[in-house]
Amino acid sequence: MRYISTRGETSPLSFQDAVITGLAPDGGLLLPEEIPDVRSRLGEWRELGFVDLALKILPLYIDDIPLEDLEPLVRSAYATFSHPEVVPLIPVGDINVVELFHGPTLAFKDVALQLLGQLFEYILSRRGEHLNILGATSGDTGSAAIYGVRGLPEIDIFVMFPDGRVSELQELQMTTVADANVHCLAVEGSFDDCQNLMKTLFADLPFKSTYRLGAVNSVNWARVLAQIVYYGYASLKLYAGAPVTFYVPTGNFGNVFAGYLAKRMGFPIERLVLATNENDILSAFFSTGVYQRGEVRFTVTPAMDIQVASNFERYLYYLLDEDSERLRRFMNDFSSTGRAVLDSPGRDEDFAAIAIGVEDTLSVIRRTYESHGYLLDPHTAVGLAAAEQIAAAGPKICLATAHPAKFPEAVNKAVGADVAHHAALELLRGLPTRRTVIPATLNAVRDFVANHARL
């Protein structure tokens, strides 16, 4: 399997090179040259556990790591999860919640980043190379990435997050990690500022090469690949003649894009309902075909306070019939004016979209706890609110993206009681922290990386 850039100006790469490269040199995102069709194999896969299903799906996309090497990497990655099923399905009324937060940082990002850490270590140790990872986070990616690579001698990690715009516990999960290879940068701006700074540095090819920059954000193909597995797993567990519909809280489009690929592979998925918060650039596109940047609104769902969705370009590539030239024009329009338009906003058979406001989010948390005794984090509540409002013929599955204890202020406010706790998070309070505050400028990030990166 080879990997190509959405922008069509990068030579095809092997899987290992795609992992190390992250963002394509032409500024595009990497995708497999073809999407495997697995429909003939679904019957034999229905009873598999999550890890065993991963060991069926991942080799379809990874042909340069022998299975005897890949299997221990996968098993080690998911041995860090506290639940025996890794991603259990929990019925909540007539909706099934797939809990993706049983990894070490209590967020869905662990599903991909625990595996990505294993892949980085495998590839770099065999090549005798060092990598300096540069990432941007709206909350959970940063800590999940740090926990995936902390202490590894082959890697230094630099994580940018918007100062004061992530939850207290999300910041503590990053800044209390004492390993010398971890660098936390509190940027005086929004997540979109952090993401733009990251992409701009990756586009500076001499700098990227000199300082051996790699990516852990969902621009890295391996992130998306790992997430395909839980869509396949959950859809097979609940399929009983009618395909399932997934309700996905999303900001950066990476999570829901993995579901789109799972659907194209042939898993029994009817539609994907994309649920955003009041930063509704994505839901507006699926209604109008207009992709237009607005001012970031800060809400109780900070991981979704995003106006530029990095992974949306991958979907656009398929929506534009894999025409890289048309895609480049679209992205250039958006980059230069903050607005780009398509005649057709998307395929209704694949996606529906809805924006959920703060009051509805808090209301769903309260009602779900009162009716079912089940506690939602605010992001998962956005998905559940979408499931209440958009019908489906078959089973409904909502992705639970984080443990509610990561957002105690919003959850406790919604419920009216102090209920959002997790022992692992409470242990972080009072620990020493390390972080560096920097302005949201390219020179500030460039200088910090240049002064602290190992080559």
Read off the CATH number of the domain in which 360 is found. Answer: 3.40.50.1100
Residue-by-residue pLDDT tens, the chain, 455 positions: 999 999 999 999 999 999 999 999 999 999 999 999 999 999 999 999 999 999 999 999 999 999 999 999 999 999 999 999 999 999 999 999 999 999 999 999 999 999 999 999 999 999 999 999 999 998 788 999 999 999 999 999 999 999 999 889 899 999 999 999 999 999 999 988 998 999 999 989 999 999 999 988 888 999 999 999 999 999 999 999 999 999 999 988 999 999 999 999 999 999 999 999 999 899 899 988 999 998 888 899 988 888 888 899 999 999 999 999 999 999 999 999 999 998 776 667 899 999 999 999 999 999 999 999 999 999 999 999 999 999 999 999 999 999 999 999 999 999 999 999 999 999 999 999 999 999 999 999 999 999 999 88
- Whether residue 175 is found in the same domain as residue 260: no
Q: Is there a domain that residue 121 lies in?
A: no
Q: Is there a domain that residue 77 lies in?
A: no
Query: pLDDT at position 343, please?
Result: 78
- Whether residue 410 is found in the same domain as residue 426: no
Dihedral (C-alpha) 435, 440, 443, 444: value to the nearest 10 degrees?
Answer: -20
Per DSSP, what are the bridge partners of residue 451?
A: none
- Whether residue 174 is found in the same domain as residue 275: no
Range of the domain at 435: 130-217+422-455
**CA separation for the pair 269, 6 (Å, rounded):** 25
On the CB side of 117, how many CA atoms lie within 13 Å of its CA? 26
Query: pLDDT at position 179, please?
Result: 96
Query: pLDDT at position 93, please?
Result: 96
Q: Is there a domain that residue 22 lies in?
A: no
Domain count, the chain: 2
Q: Is there a domain that residue 45 lies in?
A: no
Query: pLDDT at position 61, please?
Result: 98
- Whether residue 430 is found in the same domain as residue 417: no
**CA separation for the pair 394, 235 (Å, rounded):** 11
The pairing of strands 290-292 and 339-341 is antiparallel
Residues annotated as catalytic are 109
Q: How far is CA 369 from CA 101, 362, 395, in A?
A: 18, 11, 21
- Whether residue 183 is found in the same domain as residue 239: no
- CA nearest 312: which of 336, 287, 270, 283? 283
Q: Is there a domain that residue 58 lies in?
A: no
- Whether residue 150 is found in the same domain as residue 281: no
Query: pLDDT at position 171, please?
Result: 95
Query: pLDDT at position 346, please?
Result: 62
Q: Is there a domain that residue 1 lies in?
A: no
Query: pLDDT at position 307, please?
Result: 86
Query: pLDDT at position 67, please?
Result: 98
Q: Is there a domain that residue 116 lies in?
A: no
- Whether residue 160 is found in the same domain as residue 293: no
Does this model's pTM top 0.85? My answer is yes
**CA separation for the pair 260, 267 (Å, rounded):** 10
- Whether residue 245 is found in the same domain as residue 394: yes
- Whether residue 413 is found in the same domain as residue 439: no
Q: How far is CA 436 from CA 1, 20, 151, 163, 190, in A?
A: 41, 26, 19, 10, 16
- Whether residue 193 is found in the same domain as residue 270: no
Q: Is there a domain that residue 53 lies in?
A: no
Query: pLDDT at position 306, please?
Result: 87
- Whether residue 322 is found in the same domain as residue 394: yes
Q: How does DSSP classify residue 297?
A: P
| Cβ–Cβ under 8 Å, residues 73 and 115 | yes
Please classify residue 206 by burial: count the beta carbons closer than 10 Å to its beta carbon, then call 0-12 exposed, 13-18 middle and 19+ buried: exposed
Q: How does DSSP classify residue 302?
A: G
- Whether residue 375 is found in the same domain as residue 233: yes
- CA nearest 167: which of 137, 139, 190, 136? 139
| Both tokens assigned to 52 | 């065993």
